[in-house]
Structure 1
Amino acid sequence: MNATYLGLELRRFARDRANLFFVVVLPAFLFVIFGATQEYTDARIGNGNVGLYILVSMAAYGAVTATVGVGGMAAVERLQGWGRQLGLTPLPDRTFVTVKAALAVLVALLPVTLIAVVGLVTGAEGTVTAWALSMLAVAVGSTVFALFGLCAALAFRTEAAVSAASGMVVILAFLGNIFVPLSGVLLTIAKFTPLYGYVALARYPVTEGRLISNDGRDLGTEALWVPLLNIGVWALLLGVVATLLVRRGRSRQ
């Protein structure tokens, strides 16, 4: 790990105020609107209340937005020649990858931390274990989606592709049961989308697998293997696609 290079990357991220707002502040704002200010957030669910359930959802959305952007811009930098510039320095490729991975985790922690603080102040409640495991799942699981941004950038080779990928996260969040609890056919479809397994796994310490509909109906309990299988398959798929796109890029050079 090169602490100097990581520090430079963090400062560069901090200078992009527009990106900082959408990655860090917006998810917390959404939590306040859809969670903290609603009367139903005090209702109990599993090892916490609905407020904590919504908090985990918004934290997951913010973390994924962060890691998609980091992964995508890393690919764009390489495509635009930054990799050749780094090749003139003693910095090895593994350090570049390690720094970007660390950057993704640290950036993902920013919205997670802010939302957790807001949640504690506004009444999100749960056991210490539920809080700790859910926040850990949000932060670590979001790194999978750096591959999503990486694939978008490698496929279309422009910064616009990274912005488009970040925009697609909003659509995938709706389809993945993050913003609005789904039921029926929509819930069945959601289980095949990329974000479903990630957010369901993050919520699991709170809900213990219990599913609820938008009107509060109990939809039963989901086994832990369902979200684990979902996130495992998508991680493998995105990893394979990213590898193929890297090879395609090398063959063109």
Structure 2
Amino acid sequence: MTATAIRPRRAVFAPSLFRIEVLRQLRNPFTLVFTLAMPIGMYLIFGGFAEWGDAPMAHGNTKFQVMVSMGAFGTATAMSSLCSLAASEVRQGWGRQIAMTPLPIGGYAATKITAALAFSSLSVAGVFVAGILTGAQADDAWRWIVSAAVILVGGTLFGLWGMGVGMLLNPDSAAALASIAITVFGFIGNVFMPLDGAMLDVARFTPLYGYVSLARWPITDGQLITGQTDPMWAVLLNIVVWAAIFLALALAGVVRSRRRA
């Protein structure tokens, strides 16, 4: 029998690892607070129980806009935190252990990213349920679906951010720093409260601005509460530029980790 014949088949996904990862994060109080409780709480403060929550938007009301913003924030936090943890594990030598199993490092990464997306889905679902219960409205059902899809697909952008931070920084603090940075991006990126003037001009260059604006698009058509309108090309350009920056950061982390190996 040849070596090829006895070589174990390489898996592309590990259901057991996926299940363990999701359960581990459900037992992690830091993850629960920042990715589940905090987005729901901030939605209720800024939208669900706010006096202006029922104010009309282009295709719904303000509660819907705030709901989408907080769903995007929770997803960005979950993706950055969990992907940062995965990158830190590889950096600490976990990749060598994976190499001894039928699961290749690509399958390990795919499993981790899928777990992060699953946890992000919980965050989006929690915020959207809170929105339904408190009167978030959109003119058409498809606007709910498209906004949720944009949130989850676009959230992979912040998975790259988390991977870069996890590869480049101290593993003990990488996940916390990645999540805290997302919160800072949210405050200066027109996510939590409407900005105007010079603050809005600065916000347009921040990582969360384009992502959240695109998620809001089905309800706003690019219109801001301050009366201004963002063109679609500017929103997409923001996303493309930050995707390139985060990808470069992640690749730099991979190169650095290989030099240390």
Fold match by TM threshold 0.5: yes
**C-alpha contact 1:27 1:115 (8 A) present in aligned 2:** yes
- Quick check: 16-25 or 93-102, which moved more? 16-25
* Matching of residue 145 in structure 1 with residue 155 in structure 2: no
Which structure 1 residue ranges, 5 or more long, are not aligned? none
Query: Shift in Å at residue 29 of structure 1?
Result: 1.0
* Matching of residue 158 in structure 1 with residue 185 in structure 2: no
- Quick check: 151-160 or 64-73, which moved more? 151-160
Say which SS state the counterpart of residue 182 (structure 1) adopts. Answer: coil
Tell me which protein shows more strand as a share of its residues: 1
Q: Distance in 1 between matches of 2:148 and 2:247?
A: 24
For residues 124-151 of structure 1, the C-alpha deviation after alignment (integer angstroms, 9 at most, x for no partner) is 0002122111111111111110111111
Query: Shift in Å at residue 3 of structure 1?
Result: 1.6
1:168 counterpart residue number: 181
Q: Distance in 1 between matches of 2:29 and 2:175?
A: 17
Which of 98, 103, 107 in structure 2 is aligned with 1:95? 107
Regions of 4+ moved over 3 Å = none
Which structure 2 residue ranges, 5 or more long, are not aligned? 1-12
Q: Distance in 2 between matches of 1:58 and 1:157?
A: 28
**C-alpha contact 2:67 2:136 (8 A) present in aligned 1:** yes
1:58 counterpart residue number: 70
1:77 counterpart residue number: 89
User: How does 1:196-211 map onto structure 2 within 5 Å?
Assistant: 196-211=209-224
Structure-2-length-normalised TM-score: 0.92
Which residue identity does 1:223 align to in structure 2? P
Q: Distance in 1 between matches of 2:47 and 2:243?
A: 30
Query: Shift in Å at residue 33 of structure 1?
Result: 1.3
Query: Shift in Å at residue 157 of structure 1?
Result: 3.1
Which residue identity does 1:222 align to in structure 2? D
2:196 counterpart residue number: 183
Q: Distance in 2 between matches of 1:18 and 1:141?
A: 23
Coordinate RMSD, CA, aligned: 1.2
Structure-1-length-normalised TM-score: 0.94
Say which SS state the counterpart of residue 224 (structure 2) adopts. Answer: strand
Query: Shift in Å at residue 48 of structure 1?
Result: 1.0
Query: Shift in Å at residue 18 of structure 1?
Result: 3.4
Which of 187, 208, 223 in structure 2 is aligned with 1:195? 208
Q: What is the aligned-residue identity percentage?
A: 38
Which residue identity does 2:53 align to in structure 1? T
For residues 184-230 of structure 1, the C-alpha deviation after alignment (integer angstroms, 9 at most, x for no partner) is 111111111111100000001110111122xxxx12x2111111111
User: How does 1:1-253 map onto structure 2 within 5 Å?
Assistant: 1-126=13-138, 127-213=140-226, 218-219=227-228, 221-253=229-261
Query: Shift in Å at residue 84 of structure 1?
Result: 1.0
Counting matched residue pairs gives 248
Say which SS state the counterpart of residue 48 (structure 1) adopts. Answer: coil
